[in-house]
């Protein structure tokens, strides 16, 4: 599956879980990574550096989504396989 399509599928899954995905231009001198999951005012927000590579974005999203119970949601087999593989979130 094309990397851009995988990224799109992961974003759709995040939306189903009520996770807001935000691409921000992060000052890399002040940041220690390219993004991650946080809670802002009780809502989950996934912050991703806008200049991260597609592979890095997939890794960040996959790492965040692994923290949630996906058993009641339909997840495409390719995406489920990605989420069940812990080494995939290493850029």
pTM score: 0.84
Every domain of the chain and the residues it spans: 3-84
pLDDT digits (tens, 9 = 90+) for 34-77: 789 999 999 999 999 998 999 999 999 999 999 999 999 999 99
The answer to whether residue 86 scores a pLDDT higher than 70 is no
**What phi and psi values does residue 83 have, to the nearest 5 degrees?**
-70, -25
CA distance 53 to 50: 8
């Amino acid at each position: 599956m094309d990397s851009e399509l995988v990224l799109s599928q992961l974003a759709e899954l995040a939306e189903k879980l009520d996770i807001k995905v935000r691409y921000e231009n992060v000052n890399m001198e002040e940041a220690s990574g390219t993004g991650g999951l946080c809670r802002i005012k009780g809502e989950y927000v996934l912050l991703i550096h806008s200049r991260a590579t597609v592979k890095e974005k997939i890794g960040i999203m996959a790492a965040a989504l692994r923290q949630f119970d996906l058993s009641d949601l339909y997840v495409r087999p390719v995406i489920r396989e990605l989420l069940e593989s812990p080494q995939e979130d290493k850029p």
